[in-house]
Amino acid sequence: MSTTSIEIGLERETPAGLETEEMTLNMGPQHPSTHGVLRFVVKADGEIMRRAIPDIGYLHRSIEKISEKVGYHGFMPYTDRVDYVSAMQCNQGWAIACESLAGIEVPRRGEYCRVIACEFGRIASHLISVGATAMDIGAFTPFTHALREREKINDILEELCGARLTFNYMRIGGCAWDIPPGFIKRATAFLDAFEPLIDEYNELISFNKIYTERMGNVAPVSAELAIAWNLVGPNLRGSGVKYDVRKDEPYSVYPEFDFDVPVGEGKMGEVGDCWDRYMVRMDEMKESCKILRQALGGLPEGPVVAKVARTFKPPVGEAYVRVEGSRGDMGWFVVSDGTAFPVRTHIRTGSYSAMAIVEVLSQGLMIADLIAVIASLDIVAPEVDR
């Protein structure tokens, strides 16, 4: 036998008289590749992980409890902080939950404005995801390309609502502001320039030989495992499960738009690997462009918000609604006792679901592969800690 140690699964065969022991390593909570203030307790034998245990709670701000103190209207700005990388869908989820409680119908133009805002937000979020994934693996240049396009989207959203990150754009009953003059022309011009750049980005990094070998066949998640661990959004679709809340549990005016639901196909390895999860987000940006073109081209006339009392007191009851956030199925649960303040609010998020499976996926991987796993799951810390 060679005098060097030989890896056999998670066990280590060593020369006689040489003993090894498991190491406990801290990754985070302030680590450049954890996508927020997250911590992983890594149990490793050399470079091989036995498991990586998520340790959450560093960003807990009691947002759900705050809703009980600030009321229905006052809670809207706080929803931006649930997922600050893609805040528009958070606005929409809370608004729809409140409207469901009170039976409020949103004007069609308001619904179109919501879809336009959310799909621009989805592209901006995915740009951060795919750019950060490449940077985490070691390719810095693609991140600068992604940020360049995201800044252009931020300009568009700033024109729409005056903010670039935490928007506070939506209201119970519709949207705070209508589409400004010239917005459709400028938004369409961005789409004309951006869609060809998706293919250019793919040539730059997505199909790069080093990148595909670094991401392909790493941490594959089967469809059965993804469902069992309650993965949602691109993480679920990356495993080949064609499920999207916008299609399967339709809300707003999404049924009026024609778009596809990309899924992982195992082009660079096994279905459901890190590369599939990454590529689903690349493909979803193209589908968001389709939706935006239809929404901008068919924007109806009329008001953007319904008349809602300043002191909003929905009837006694409860509501649970779901929206397709950038990280997947986002659920909003609210209980009303007939007063101006919710009795209970609970938010279900995709990043929280994704954290649970990290410990399973990490077993037997190299420590460096944990970076690829976290990046491919697109975990955002504030979605985990609420």
Mind listing the pLDDT tens digit for each residue in 21-48?
889 998 878 777 677 788 999 999 888 9
Q: State whether 17 and 98 are in the same domain.
A: no
CA dist 292 and 295 (Å) reads 5
Tell me, yes or no, whether 35 and 83 share the same domain.
no
**Judgement on whether residues 258 and 316 belong to the same structural domain of the protein:** yes
Domain membership flag for residue 206: yes
Considering the chain, what is the average pLDDT of its residues?
Answer: 92
Q: What percent of the chain has pLDDT over 70?
A: 95
Contact between residue 98 and residue 312 where contact means Cβ atoms under 8 Å apart: yes
In a domain, 355, yes or no: no
- Residue 324 in contact with residue 89, Cβ under 8 Å? yes
pLDDT at 6 > cutoff 50: no
**pLDDT on residue 17:** 61
Residue 13 pLDDT = 54
As given in the structure block, the two tokens for residue 364 are 């037997």
Q: Is the pLDDT of residue 4 over 50?
A: no
| Total number of residues shown for the chain | 386
Say what the pLDDT of residue 16 is. 61
Q: Which domain holds residue 316?
A: 63-348
Query: HEC profile for 303-351?
Result: CCECCCCCCCCCCCEEEEEEEEECCEEEEEEEEECCCCCCCEEEEECHH
Instruction: Indicate the pLDDT class of residue 219, thresholds 50, 70 and 90.
Output: very high
Q: Which of 298, 214, 289 lies closest to 256 in space, CA to CA?
A: 298
- Quick one: 73 and 32 in the same domain? no
Overall average pLDDT of the 114-121 stretch: 97
Does 318 lie in the same domain as 196? yes
Give pLDDT, residue 373: 93
Kindly state whether residue 94 falls inside one of the protein's structural domains: yes
13/159 same-domain check: no
Task: Note whether 80 and 44 are same-domain residues.
Answer: no
Q: Which two tokens stand for residue 359?
A: 């410990």
Q: What is the pLDDT of residue 12?
A: 53
Is 231 part of a structural domain of the chain? yes
pLDDT category of residue 20 using cuts at 50, 70 and 90: confident
Q: What integer pLDDT is reported at residue 292 of this predicted model? A: 98
Do 45 and 183 belong to one domain?
Answer: no
pLDDT of 145 higher than 50: yes
The string of pLDDT tens digits covering residues 321-339 is 999 999 999 999 999 999 9
Q: What is the pLDDT of residues 152-194, one digit of tens each?
A: 999 999 999 999 999 999 999 999 999 999 999 999 999 999 9
pLDDT surpasses 50 at 3: no
pLDDT tens-digit map of 54-109 = 999 888 989 999 999 999 999 999 999 999 899 999 999 999 999 999 999 999 99
State whether residue 83 is helix, strand or coil.
coil
Q: Are residues 68 and 31 located together in one domain of the fold?
A: no
179 Cβ contact partners less than 8 Å away, ≥ 6 residues apart? 113, 116, 160, 299
Q: What is the pLDDT of residue 14?
A: 54
DSSP 208-232: -HHHHHHHTTSS---HHHHHHTT--
Domain count of the fold of the chain: 2
Q: Tell me: pLDDT of 288 over 80.
A: yes
Give me the CATH number covering residue 318: 1.10.645.10
Task: Determine the pLDDT at residue 59.
Answer: 87
Q: Of the candidates 34, 55, 76, which is a domain's last residue?
A: 55
The H or E element spanning position 94 is: helix 88-102
pLDDT of residue 164: 93
pLDDT of residue 158: 96
Angle at 81 between CA 79 and CA 87, to 5 degrees: 70
**Structural domain contains residue 360:** no
Same domain for 296 and 203: yes
Task: Say yes or no to pLDDT of 342 above 70.
Answer: yes
Q: Is residue 357 part of a domain?
A: no
Task: Tell me: do 233 and 331 sit in the same domain.
Answer: yes
pLDDT, mean of residues 256-275: 95
Residue 9 is predicted with a pLDDT of 45
- The token pair at 384 is 């985990």
Verify that 50 and 85 share a domain, yes or no. no
Using left for φ > 0, alpha for ψ between -120 and 50, and beta otherwise, residue 20 falls in: beta
Residue range 224-264, pLDDT digits in tens: 999 999 999 999 999 999 999 999 999 999 999 999 999 99
Of 21, 36, 55, which residue constitutes the final position of a domain? 55
User: Is residue 81, in this structure, part of any structural domain at all?
Assistant: yes
Residue 228 inside a domain? The answer is: yes
What are the phi and psi torsion angles at 8 (to 5°)? -130, 95
Q: What is the pTM of this model?
A: 0.92
